[in-house]
Amino acid sequence: TQDLLAQADYLADRSLATVLFLALRMGRPIFLEGEAGVGKTEIAKVLSATLGRKLIRLQCYEGLDVGSAVYEWNYAAQMIAIRLAEAEGTVDRARLTHDIFSDEFLIKRPLLQALEPDTGGAPVLLIDELDRTDEAFEAFLLEVLADFQVTVPEMGTVKAAHPPIVVITSNRTREIHDALKRRCLYHWVDYPSAEREVAIVRTKVPGISATLSEEIVRFVQALRREDLFKAPGVAETLDWAGALTELDAVALDPATVSDTLGVLLKYQDDIARLQGSRAGELISQLRADMTAAE
């Protein structure tokens, strides 16, 4: 599984690869929790690409309901069908009701799409940032995750012949109910070690020098130990590495770091804390550590 993920340049540690392997073999959803920007969403994209499966993404938000997540009826088309039947003078109410509540008028949203048969194999269903929704939507998901089915009152129950590969992510802005977690295999996606993060940077940012990549990672790892409102994730590390490469930087210096902190940090209070002497102190410390390591 590690090799499979590596084919799409995702460098996973053994514990993550093991949980993914078990989720695939056991047909269980996987629940990934961790700080924003550590690569949770990317896992679903990589599985889709490497397994050759379609990716269906449900982006969660406050107020998400069944109409946006599962299905809704095309009311405008239904009204036109009713008017046409009335105009023709052949209105059979029972038949008309059956006709307008059929597949032709059903707008399928991500959860229903994921349960449909696919000649390319069961899709990867990404339920992203579940913690942004409310508990009512969580409760609705229990039927989907337990039996891989949803109920459309006008049509009956739709059940997947081959369950999708389900990846659920959460940034832990609130706790997810135990009933949902019990239906999944769980993994906490943590910040990578310095060695693995250096490898990620060198893989994702071609052409970056060995010295600059190591300095970037050591600087970011030091920032994560600072008292910041939001520590930078791996996504921000890669963005910053790309930005410094565009600026033809060969090593970190306080001026360049201060000028580009907006790529790495997203809150003004955090940027203000690092600008000036503190950035210089961190650079001096990481260079001393690198020299000692040699």
- Contacts with 147 (C-beta within 8 Å, 6 or more apart), sequence order: 159
Please name the residue that has the structure tokens 């000649």: 119
Helices (H), 176-226: 178-181, 194-204, 210-223
Interatomic CA distance for residues 176 and 184, integer angstroms: 12
Interatomic CA distance for residues 182 and 58, integer angstroms: 21
pLDDT of residue 218: 95
Q: What is the DSSP letter of 36?
A: T
> Encoding tokens for residue 35?
């700080």
pLDDT of residue 16: 95
Q: What is the DSSP string of 93-117?
A: HHHHHHHHTSGGGEEE-HHHHHHS-
pLDDT of residue 118: 87
Give 1-72+103-189's CATH code, choosing from 3.40.50.300, 3.40.50.720, 3.10.20.310, 2.30.30.240. Answer: 3.40.50.300
pLDDT of residue 85: 78
**Strand intervals (E) in the chain:** 30-33, 55-59, 71-73, 106-108, 124-128, 149-152, 156-159, 165-170, 185-188
How many residues are present in the chain?
294
> Encoding tokens for residue 285?
């410390």
> Encoding tokens for residue 183?
């239906």
> Encoding tokens for residue 82?
């009713």
pLDDT in tens, the chain (294 residues): 999 999 999 999 999 999 999 999 999 999 999 999 999 999 999 999 999 999 999 999 999 988 899 999 999 988 888 888 778 776 677 777 767 888 888 999 999 999 998 888 999 999 999 999 998 899 889 888 888 998 888 888 889 989 999 999 999 999 999 999 999 999 999 999 999 999 999 999 998 999 999 999 999 999 999 989 999 999 999 999 999 999 999 999 999 999 999 999 999 999 998 887 888 899 999 889 888 877
Cβ-contact 213, 201 below 8 angstroms: yes
pLDDT of residue 115: 93
Cβ-contact 271, 261 below 8 angstroms: yes
pLDDT of residue 100: 83
254: Cα separation from own chain's centroid: 33
> Encoding tokens for residue 257?
């770091």
Instruction: Read off the pTM.
Output: 0.88
pLDDT of residue 91: 66
